[in-house]
């Protein structure tokens, strides 16, 4: 059963993967629209110093827990988010389950050509899936209205926004209300993985919760700040939240 769990003052929706797919597919096919996000340690660290991101996460319709950092930190604080629901695993499952129901998706984000290669690979894997359109993620504010219009005309059930944290969440927060009936989901580096531009960690590394170490090894120049410094900041956020909780308990 799904329930809401507060972790570092942000509300997550806790549910197993099978339920997440069911809930998401129902939302998409009913054309409920809305905003769906994933929260991992990097998201939490960024939200702690970026109020626009914290607000976007708070105003989303679903926030799913992603990664071993969030799993460990939430368990440490006594509110365990036990299911790891990253978009890189969930989106292909969603496409697989939705393909027979004419699910249509639009891919927005990543470097030029990456979204179209990712779309072709998804289509090859799930032939029933409808690709409503693709657009790279390096566009200016002045191009945004025409990009929104193209998405509105294509009218996908699901808009995947792969522009990285916090850009994708803030973009969705600002524009989802202009896309009625279309669910927007922030998916980070998903297109790079599906287009096979960046290799995903082998299954056993993912199972033991070490995908972050793999990503660090794949892109050390870009990722060292996120995973070395970011993980330490995340640790200090969790520890200082725990000490606030302890102080609260001692004074009551
Ligand atoms: N990206 C983009 N527009 C930008 C900046 C980044 O489309 O202005 C893309 C980038 O090409 C990459 C993705 O956003 O495909 C970010 O991937 P990352 O793995 O960093 O995502 P995160 O883990 O931050 O969610």
Query: Tens place of pLDDT for every residue, the chain, 252 residues?
Result: 779 999 999 999 999 999 999 999 999 999 999 999 999 999 999 999 999 999 999 999 999 999 999 999 999 999 999 999 988 999 999 999 999 999 999 999 999 999 999 999 999 999 999 999 999 999 999 999 999 999 999 999 999 999 999 999 999 999 999 999 999 999 999 999 999 998 889 988 988 888 889 999 999 999 999 889 999 999 999 999 999 887 877 776
What is the whole-number distance in angstroms between the Cα of residue 163 and the centre of ligand 1?
4
What is the whole-number distance in angstroms between the Cα of residue 125 and the centre of ligand 1?
23
Which residues sit with their C-beta closer than 6 Å to ligand 1? 109-111, 137-138, 162-165, 167, 188-189, 191-192
- Report the C-alpha gap between 165 and 170 in whole angstroms: 9
Residue 52 CA to its chain's centroid (Å): 16
Secondary structure element (H or E) that encloses residue 191, with its range = helix 190-194
Q: What single string gives the DSSP state of each residue in 72-99?
A: HHHHHTT--------HHHHHHHHHHHHH
Residue length of the chain: 252
């Amino acid at each position: 059963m799904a329930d809401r769990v507060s972790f570092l003052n942000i509300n997550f929706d806790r549910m197993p993967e099978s339920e997440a797919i069911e809930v998401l597919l129902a939302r998409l096919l009913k054309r409920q629209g809305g905003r769906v996000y994933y929260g991992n340690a990097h998201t939490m660290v960024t939200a702690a110093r970026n109020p626009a991101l914290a607000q976007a996460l708070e105003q989303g319709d679903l926030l799913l827990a992603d990664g071993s950092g969030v799993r460990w930190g939430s368990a440490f604080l006594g509110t365990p988010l036990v299911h790891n629901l990253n978009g890189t695993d969930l989106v292909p499952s969603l496409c697989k389950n939705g393909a027979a129901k004419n699910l249509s998706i639009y891919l927005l984000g990543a470097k030029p050509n990456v979204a179209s290669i990712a779309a072709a690979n998804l289509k090859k894997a799930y032939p029933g899936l409808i690709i409503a359109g693709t657009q790279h993620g390096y566009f200016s504010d002045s191009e945004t209205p025409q990009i929104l219009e193209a998405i509105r005309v294509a009218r996908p059930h699901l808009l995947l926004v792969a522009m990285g944290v916090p850009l994708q969440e803030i973009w969705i927060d600002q524009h989802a209300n202009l896309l009625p009936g279309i669910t927007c989901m922030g998916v980070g580096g998903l297109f790079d993985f599906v287009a096979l531009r960046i290799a995903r960690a082998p299954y056993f590394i993912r199972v033991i919760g070490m995908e972050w170490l793999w990503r660090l090894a794949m892109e050390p120049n870009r990722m060292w700040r996120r995973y070395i410094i970011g993980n330490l900041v995340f640790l200090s956020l969790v520890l200082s939240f725990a000490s606030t909780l302890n102080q609260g308990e001692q004074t009551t």
